[in-house]
Amino acid sequence: MAYVDGFVLIVPKKNLAAYKKMAKGAGKIWKEHGALAYFEGEGDDMKVTMGLPFPKLTKAKPTDVVVFSYIVYKNKAERNKVNAKVMKDKRIHELCGGENSEMPFNVKNMAYGGFKAMVAL
């Protein structure tokens, strides 16, 4: 059964172009190593009246963009193999600017988790 890594993060609007460039490169690397799908979505309709809006949940400022992302794998074992390969790939570290560079978002404010498929249509 499919397995998904999901992410919600905040990117300052001034860093969005840099984030998009990084995400596009990262997606190519993940897919090259076996991910079935890679998706990055920029918050658009965030003034919802039902539930808890993402900006409120993430405590995003008006100068921030909420990003929703996910990566799909064949199963959890395959996800673990793919992620191990990605983390060993020098290109992913170059995309993130190496150890001494600033990321285009605050990693400490990123929500992340692995999800086993419950319904897949």
| 30: CATH | 3.30.70.100
**pTM of the prediction?**
0.92
- Please give the Cα distance from 105 to 15 (Å, whole number): 7
Q: 């959890």: which residue's tokens?
A: 76
Domain assignment present for residue 18? The answer is yes
Number of domains in the chain: 1
Domain assignment present for residue 121? The answer is no
Domain assignment present for residue 8? The answer is yes
Domain assignment present for residue 43? The answer is yes
Domain assignment present for residue 65? The answer is yes
CA angle 105, 6, 53 (to 5 degrees): 70
**Residue 110 belongs to domain spanning:** 3-116
User: pLDDT digit of tens for each residue in the chain (121 aa)?
Assistant: 899 999 999 999 999 999 999 999 999 999 999 999 999 999 999 999 899 999 999 999 999 999 999 999 999 999 999 999 999 999 998 887 765 567 888 888 899 999 999 998 8
